[in-house]
Structure formats: C-alpha cells, structure tokens
A and B are shown apart, each in its own frame.
Chain A
C-alpha cells in the first residue's frame, strides 16, 4: 500500500526501533558475508538476486515485526542445525538434536504436526468462541512456519553435503514446492490476520494448508519423495530461484482467497455467521488476496516465459503447465473484472474464487499427474 499513502522516507526511518536496525544490520551483514564467502560459486544473476534480497527482507522485517522475529528464529535454528553436521550427513541419524529436531526431514515433520495442531485450535477457537484457542492457533502457525523454513534451509545445506554438484535450492521438485506452498500460504494468512485484526478465518485457511501437508506426508511415506534429487540441466538456472517462489505466492494467495470464499458463502447462509467476520471484511480479504496473487502470478508467468526462452528456445509453446498457468491467470483476470462490473452480487465472486481453487490445484498438481509435458519435475 506504500503507493497509496506515500510517506516521506525520513519518517519511515525515524519510526524504526533498535530491533529494526539490528535486523537490518544482521540481514545485510549475513548476505554480504555469504556473498564474499560463496560469491565465487554464484553467477552474476545469483549474486544480484542475493543483493536484491537484502533490501527486500529488510523492508519486510520492518513492515512486519512478526516476520522479523521469524527470520531471526530460522536463522538461529538453521545455523544451529548446520553447525551440528560437521559436514557429515550421517550425523543426521546420530546427533540427538539433528535426528529429532533440526535435520531437514524431522524439521519438516514438526512443521506438518504443528500445522495440524494449529488447524485444530483455530477450529476450537471458532466454535467455542475462545480467544485463547485462537491465539494458540496463531502461535502454532508461527511455530510451524519456523520449523518449515528451518527444514528448507537445512535441506538446502544437506543437498550440498551430498555433493557440491548436486546442491541446489530446495524448490525444484513437487515435494519441496509443496512445503513451500504450505509456508507461503501460512505467511500470507498471518499477514491478513494482522492487517484485519481477526483470527476467525484461520480455521478455514488452515484447512487448505493441512490438505497440502497431508499430501506431503503421503508423498513422503508412499513414494519416498523426500529424497534430494540432483537438478536436470533444464532446471539449472537462476530463473528457478525467482520463478518458482513467485508462482507459489500466486498459488498460496489464490487458495487463501478460495477458503475465504467458502467462509463467505457459509456466513451468507447464516452458518457460523455470528462467529465469522462481516461479509464486507471477508469480501475485502478475498479481493486483497486475489489481487496480490494475480500480481505475483503475472510476474511468475512472465518469468517462466523468459526462462523457457532460454531453456527450451521459445518463450511460449503451449506446454500443458504453461497453458494451465495461462488458464489460472485468465480465470482471475476474469474475477477481477467481475468485481468491477456492476450488479454482480458477492456470492458470484465467492463461488468463482472457490472454483478458482480447483483450477489452481489442477494447474499445480493435476498437470503433473495427468498430463505429460516439459515441466518434467515432480511426476507422481
């Protein structure tokens, strides 16, 4: 919203707490340390991405204390975990703290567990109108995100322990992006929870996260999908580092809006109406979520096109994944237009958002399951 109410930068800097400055210091310090220690292994783009990450994360940390603390927490845990490894993967099984807390698989396991707990207590809070349970839900969600991000960071490190040629950012196969999806959706939700000062929607949003987590678990146990795989040539590109996250901000936001849509429809029919926020508020959250989702999905799709141009030789070739990305995008473009056209009642928007989740899920999962194409990662 910065564009909406431009503030003089001076005031922006003045209202900073010492903690904010500390965060800024640590973030830039850490990034620069990484750059000078590992810069040799990165290409120009990767270095650029790392540098661009500094202001981005500082801005986020300043705008959102909760996120600032999360960054600090994950940094501590991840570095702690990494330091326990002594560059030896086998220690993941031997060292107590690694085996039961900080090794990537275990940490992600904790994330799954905590997300389930969070879902439960949000529902408890909603049904029993218990503020405490809702607060617990929020805390548990934060905790889940903390463990999840830690797990991802440690996994990143582990991939390099397998072999320097194998090491890569853990967003390259279906298992990894599912974890990413859960994390991003949770963070988006926590953001709106704060902005709209209501914990009542958690019960609904956490359902979609739990579903994703459930899938992740099934995928781990039945398919051993958690194994770190090396990157095929097409994926060895800095584009992946920006294309994939951008995409999942989109997916996450769309799923969130769909769950709000569900809540909206229930409330409109008088179900839980007294417990949920007003229709107007939910409609607004839905719009906000779809707006941010659409914006990022637009960027992501374009990044994908640019990447495709390098990897496959054309920016667009109607590969099923590409096409479904377009379908999702068109769908939400239509949604945004619907909202502007007069006379269409909110329920159409809500239904459309819910259906949007089906479309999104297919683009995200269905394509890998049912359609063959160039997006060869993460077949089921």
Chain B
C-alpha cells in the first residue's frame, strides 16, 4: 500500500522523465516551430504593421510572433525539453550502466521460461563438455558470457551489443549539450545584457560617432552576431546588431578596412563570386592582417569569425541631367550626387526633394518575345513535338522564351512633393531595344508594393533624347499650336483646290486637338470626345484624331529643324514609327507624376561590402554535441542489445532464452539461428560444426 502513494514531486519527476512526455514534447516543439516559418521573422516592424493592421500588430507583437524562436514561450518549451531529457538521463543512466555491466547471472529458470524467445532441448554431452562448447560458440558469435552454478545445473549468461545503452546516454546528453550551447549563441545573453547593463536600442538616426554608450557594447562582449558595413576604401570597427525594432552597436577589438570588393557574374547575370579584400587592424597590438573573405570561405580572428554576408552600393557618384517636363520648357540642369544623398531641384516655382536610392552597373533582362502558341491541331502537334524535343538531348539547352541580355546601368530615386508623398523612379542609362526600336525606359511607382510602370521614350535618330524633349516642349506650348495647326492643314490640303474655309476649319480642329493633347494627352482628348460626340460616332472620331495629331507632330518636328537651320526630313517608315512612339509617350508623360526626368549621364561606382562578425561561445559545445548525437543515434539504432541464456541442467535438459531491448525481426531470426546451432552442437556434439 505505502508504495503506491508517491510525493507530488516524485510524480512530476516521473512524468517529466517518461517516454510519453518525451513524445509529447517533441511533438509540441515541432508544432511550435512551424509558426515561425509561416510569419516572416525579424522584419522591420512597420512591414508587420502594414501586413497585419493596427489591431493585430500589437497582439502578434505581444505573442512574440515576429521573432518566435527568441520568444520566451518558445524558450520555455526548449527548457522543458532540456529539463526532461536531463531528468530522463538521470533516471535511466544508473540502471543502464548497471545493465551494461551485469550479466544477469542471477536469472532464475522460472523467469527464463517466461521469455518470448525460449527453447528447450536435450543433450547427451557431459555438463563440462556442453558448457565448453556453448561458451566457445557464444564467444565466436561475439557474445561475452559468464557462467554460474545453480541448483541442479549451470547457467551461461551471455550478452552482446551493450553499446546500445551507451548510445542512449550519448544521444540524449548530446541533445542537452546542443540546446545549452545554442542558448549561449542565441540572443538570450544579449537580452540579459540589455536588462542588466540597461542598454537601449537606437534607430541609427545619427552617425555612429554620436550614438551614446547606452546603445554600445564593448569589445569584451562575449556573444553576438552583427553586420559591418564597409564602402570600398573605408574602415570600421563597429558591427550593427539588429534587435527588435532597433539596433545596438558592437565595438570590435579590431578595425576592418575594405580595400576592394569583387563581384563576378555568369553570362546569365547570376552572381558567381563575392569577395572582399580586407585589412584587419588589431586595435590593441596594431598588428595588420590582409585577407580575402568569400562566401563559404570565412576568416576567424581571436574567436571572432568574419563572413561575406552581402553587398550594397557604397555611395556611387552619379552625374545627372535633369530635363524639365513643365509645359513648353526645354530646361536642362546638371546635378552631381551620390547614392544615399538627396538633392533639391528647382522646377518652376517649387523645389523638388530627390533622394537617390540606388545604382546598378548592369541589368540582365530576358529580351525574348514570348513563344507564340500553336493554333489548330497542326499547331498544337508542332508545339508538342517541339516541347518533347526541348526535353530530350542535353540538359544544357535553355528553354524557350529565354534570351538574357545586359541592358546596361540603371539608377533609382524617390521624389517627394511638399506633402511628403514619395514616388519611386527607376531609369535606365542606355536605350533598350524593343520590337526593333530603341527606347529610354523610366519606371514609376506610387508604392513599393506595386511594380514599376514604364514610360518608353523613343530614342531619336542619333540615339538621343533631345528631339523628344524639344518636340514635347513645342507641342506643349499653347502659343505655337496655331502655327503648327496651320502648317498641318496646309500640308494636308496641298495639291487639292479647296475653299480656304475648309482649310481653316481643319486648322482650327487641329489646333483644338493640340490644345487638348497638351493638357493631359489622350486622356483629355478622350474626355472631349465623350462629352461632345454621340456614342455611336466616338470610335470614328478617335480614329480621325490620331492622324491629325501625328501630322501635327510631324510638322512640329520639321518646324524645330527649320529653327535649328536644319533641312526638312523626308518621311519614311522609321520616322513614322518614331512619330507614333513620340506621340504616345508624350501623352503618357502627362501621367509621369514628376515635373522632371533625370537622365544618368555619367557614373563612378562605389561598392560596399557587408561583413558579418560573429562570436559564438557555444559553438564548440554544439559541435561536440552533434558528434555525440550521431554516434549515439547509430549505436541506439544499429547495435541491438541481446542477452542469451543457456541453462544446462544436470538432467540433460537445456533451456535457451534470448532477450533484447528492441523488438525487431532480426532478434527473432537471430534466436532461431542460435537455437539451431546450439542444438546441433549439443546433440551431434562429437562432430564439431
């Protein structure tokens, strides 16, 4: 009776160290881990705000979903795993060690008869003979054995595969070791530091120099992982640790100077190699070490490892030409700036605030036209054959619709209006070929969420933008519309003898069209048609307007040339194309959202390398744990502990029994093997097998 009532402490201990608890723990931990893979971790907080909205954001923050694996509840589960594994070891270890040592020579016949694997046979051999043969056999089979006289017989107790138990101890203590090591390298130490050392995160709004000690960690700090931002030719000894929604500055015991950052690409534009040539200067000894850090080739100095983490623009120097897009203006202003800087542009009577956000020395784009799907059964068949051909042969063939080309440099910037509203732009430096014509592409978007919408400015006959801007200026100058319209009407009617009234009416129509066009392009024309033309005639009206516009644009073009003392051009297909593209793009330019187009004139690239500095005191423990875990798991799974008992009774009866701590068919097979072997040994004992 008293055995049954156990103290609650005892009960807890038994629960925690029980196998069922292990299973539940492993399952719970697995499920908990899923959460962090669904919610993107450690993003800037306002991303979450956008994603989850005002209401849920704080809730999820409170639940620690933005950094699940560092949330206290998750750490608690881990602690449970460690605790219960340790308890489990404490509970099992003594027994296991005893098991490994003992041979159970005390086993009674009665209990042997209860074994799942048992066999009874007879022998005519003398007890010693039998005992010797069996002992030899067991030794040959890799069993260790002990003999013990029992009442009315002798028991040979043999065992093999005791390392299975050792495996258990290794694997399970390994898990404890790994978890503890992991905790040391996690951000738990940092959390403590922030509480004890009362550190406060900064949002890096000022230069490092001005950030106070309350957000700095000294070189002696023993566990961290942070990024060192290094423009070419610059030096730094500060690693930035991202913490929650801010950052801490980690002072390194050495400074790193980036001599050069190498980036190589494959022909496909895929990155091939990132490497930083650095000089490391020990701040104590002043010793200098030169080294090249690459992805997969880190460098360790005094227990601090340096890795090639990523790269950024380090403030490339850009020379820009700002083309005004104000009506009638041909103003072009030069500006020199750097990526990361911002500049004020005077446009008419208001100043624009421009932030240069990025620069890319080259862009690889897929310039292939989409494969045309076959039509009709024939076509389908052809497609099928084609796609089968595609799938045969070597793996080197690139699939259809793939034609990668480098379309040259591009840079991106934000333009902020007085309201603080920012639009983002992305301009290519060189014209890009499309359907056999070449365009200067400039992309615009209101929010980072949506993709860039591109304004395609046709390049003129000497591959420049000038004609387009001049044309645009002229077409958006109201005072010129009449002239252009008149010349257009004259040209249109030339040769035919029509009354002046007809000509003037056409001229007036053209002028009106130009006026509308110069307000908001096709939009205002469409507006006009909708308001003034009855439903059923709108289509024709629109069709009628387009040639008028293009005719006027052509006249405008010629007018420009006249004024530059250039001789007029003859119309040809290319010029017709140019004209159409120009008229379309000028119309689009009214929706460009900025009164200025920034042309990239020259650049001088400056790269920056981001090097990660980590100090992980737990690493050794973790790696050792891993080694133990592997060894342990293999022992547990591939060494079966087996105990074979042979009870030789004076009566000549022989009792075989086998036990194993793992139930598998191997054990069954093995028992039958031994049973047959021993039986034949003992019965035709004269012939040794």
* Interface set of A (CB-CB < 8 Å, partner B): 1, 3-6, 89, 92-93, 98-100, 103-106, 109, 155, 158-159, 161-162, 165-166, 170, 220-221, 223-224, 226-230, 232-234, 236-237, 280-281, 284, 287-288, 291-292, 294-295, 298-299, 302, 305-306, 309-316, 318, 320, 323-324, 326-327, 330-331, 333-334, 336-338, 340-341, 367, 371-372
Contact = CB atoms under 8 A, between A and B. Distances in A.
A334 B399 contact: no
Contacts of B387: 221
Nearest to A112: B391
Nearest to A338: B23
A4 B639 contact: yes
Q: What DSSP secondary structure best describes chain A's contact surface?
A: helix
11 contacts: A3-B635, A3-B638, A291-B638, A294-B633, A295-B637, A306-B623, A310-B298, A311-B296, A334-B30, A337-B23, A372-B40
Given A224-B400, A337-B23, A3 B185 contact: no
Given A315-B619, A341-B20, A104 B399 contact: no
Size category, B interface: 35 or more
Contacts of A221: 387, 390-391
Nearest to B41: A318
Interface in B633-689: 633-635, 637-640, 664-666, 670
Contact of B272 (A233, A284, A294, A371): A233
B639 A316 contact: no
B225 A302 contact: no
A284 B664 contact: yes
Interface stretch (B113-121, B263-271, B428-436, B455-463): B263-271
B12 interface: no
A229 B267 CA distance: 11
Contacts of B160: 4
Nearest to A217: B391
Nearest to A5: B142
Contacts of B393: 92-93, 98-99, 103, 105-106
A341 B182 CA distance: 29
A298 B296 contact: no
A313 B296 contact: no
A295 B634 contact: yes
Interface stretch (B31-39, B129-137, B342-350, B475-483): B31-39
B395 interface: yes
A340 B163 CA distance: 18
B682 to A, nearest CB: 21
Interface string B460-480: 000000000000000000000
A350 B385 CA distance: 44
A45 B599 CA distance: 50
Interface of B: 19-20, 22-23, 26-27, 29-30, 33-34, 36-38, 40-41, 68-69, 141-142, 160-161, 163, 182, 185, 225, 266, 268, 270-274, 294-298, 305, 307, 309, 387, 390-400, 402, 612, 614, 616, 619, 622-623, 626, 629-630, 633-635, 637-640, 664-666, 670
A372 B185 CA distance: 24
Contacts of A316: 182
A371 B33 CA distance: 14
B295 A5 contact: no
A230 B38 contact: no
B398 A109 contact: no
Contacts, number: 191
A371 B38 contact: yes
Contacts of A105: 391-395, 397
A210 B571 CA distance: 63
Contacts of A109: 391-392
Given A105-B391, A333-B26, A158 B396 contact: yes
A233 B34 contact: no
Contact of A233 (B23, B274, B396, B665): B274
Contact of B394 (A92, A294, A295): A92
Contact of A313 (B274, B298, B402, B665): B298
A312 B33 contact: no
B384 to A, nearest CB: 10
A103 B396 CA distance: 10
B640 A4 contact: yes
A98 B393 CA distance: 7
Given A313-B614, A318-B69, A330-B27, A224 B298 contact: no
A230 B404 CA distance: 14
B398 A334 contact: no
A337 B582 CA distance: 73
A104 B396 CA distance: 9
B491 to A, nearest CB: 52
Contacts of B390: 221, 224
B665 A284 contact: yes
Nearest to A4: B640
Given A89-B394, A341-B20, A371-B38, 5 more contacts: A6-B142, A99-B393, A227-B397, A330-B27, A330-B33
Contacts of B629: 298, 302
B295 A236 contact: yes
Contacts of B616: 314-315
A135 to B, nearest CB: 24
A288 B640 CA distance: 13
Contacts of B38: 371
A288 B638 CA distance: 10
Contact of B664 (A287, A299, A312): A287
B270 A230 contact: yes
A188 to B, nearest CB: 15
A313 B309 contact: yes
Nearest to B34: A327
A237 B298 CA distance: 12
A281 B665 contact: yes
A305 B37 CA distance: 17
A326 B33 contact: yes
A227 B398 contact: yes
Nearest to B294: A233
Contact of A291 (B273, B397, B614, B637): B637
Given A4-B639, A230-B270, A158 B394 contact: yes
Contacts of B68: 318
A330 B30 contact: yes
Nearest to A373: B37
B392 A106 contact: yes
Given A1-B666, A105-B392, A234-B296, A299 B630 contact: yes
